[in-house]
Amino acid sequence: MLQVLRKIAFPISLIYALVVYVRNFLFDLGVFKSKSFSTPTICIGNISVGGTGKTPMTEFILKLLNDKKVAVLSRGYKRQSKGFVLANENSSVLELGDEPFQIHKKFPNVTIAVDGDRRNGMANLEQKVQPDVIVLDDAMQHRWVKPTITILLTAYSKLYVNDWYLPTGDLRDAKMASKRADVIVVTKCPTSISEEEKKSMTLKLKPEPHQKVLFASLVYADFVSNGNQQKPLSELKNKPFALVTGIASPKPLVHYLKSLGLEFEHFEFGDHHHFTDNEIGQFSGFGKILTTEKDFVRLDGRVNDLYYLEVAHQFNAVDKMVMEETLRQLF
């Protein structure tokens, strides 16, 4: 039914595409001006809605920059606070939003800030924190700030070149916006992807001479955690549990768990979903509840026997080296 409605909405997608084109044209023409800041800036984003693995990529970049003073600036999607907020030891998921809060808890030495106005957020970070580098989370469309390096993510199963504009497709920006990227990362690739397939996908993406195309796979931890203790994932074998997800694309996780022979009932909700008490009642009776790390920060303290499974991007040695070399150009 949803697919039928999306096809019916095709005329709306044409209007959306026109608005996107005009906006980008005005930026390219200089009518709308992008501002550069003195601090080296890394933009991580996509041109489609959700499901490309931005948060794991942000964490991957933070690990590569562990010897630098790093700040992450996000808009803090669905947070209940307003304006510029600098995370501290008393910050909550409601104040920061789920993804910034997850990074805040996981990387205590990284400064986390949220602001819907990226220019204001950048100015505040330069004045109050003076970091060596700022990572702009989900900022491909926020052209008011001109990043030093742009990393564009596109999912293996749905390359942006094969997609169409909202609401018929999932594109929220023009395909030509990809030309602003310095690195294009095809995420969620099978671990068995061949060099021939990589070459074929690169040809489809048609990168500019200055662009690097890299490939990453999702790798799941072999343990689950509740924030205080870890247990082997294998302990869930032959013990039916509830899987609760509020992310854009839970299919890779579901496929992975099924490949291990685990038995579970999947409760699927929309991305960044705020769980109601009634919804929690639907799955709280299970012996154990497994969720994603992003969902964990929204469910922690509200559900018993709650665990999350960590996920990370994995590159081969060559592609990882290319990413490292790209980041070294900042300093």
pLDDT < 50 regions, the chain: none
Number of domains in the chain: 2
- Picking from 203, 218, 233, the residue at the C-terminal end of a domain is 218
In a domain, 330, yes or no: no
Considering the domain boundaries, does residue 200 fall inside one?
yes
- Strand, coil or helix: 109: coil
pLDDT of residue 269: 94
DSSP state of 239: S
Q: Write out pLDDT tens, residues 295-309.
A: 999 999 999 999 999
Contact present, 301 and 260 (Cβ < 8 Å): no
Pair 198, 228 in one domain: no
Residues 191 and 269 in one domain: no
**pLDDT reported for residue 1:** 74
Tokens (6 digits) for 329 = 């150009």
CATH for 115: 3.40.50
Strand ranges in the chain using DSSP code E only, listed in sequence order: 41-45, 70-74, 85-86, 111-114, 133-137, 149-155, 183-187, 212-225, 230-232, 241-245, 264-268, 289-292, 306-315
Residue 183 contacts residue 46 (beta carbons within 8 Å): no
- The predicted pLDDT at position 147 comes to 97
Does 175 share its domain with 233?
A: no
Query: Are 180 and 227 members of one domain?
Result: no
Is the domain of 78 the same as that of 153? yes
Determine the structural domain holding residue 106 and report its residue range.
2-218
Give per-residue pLDDT as tens, 88-125.
Answer: 999 999 999 999 999 999 999 999 999 999 999 999 99
> Are 298 and 197 in the same domain?
no
Asked whether residue 174 falls in the same domain as residue 213, the answer is yes
Position 260 in a domain: yes
Shared domain for 65 and 106, answered yes or no, is yes
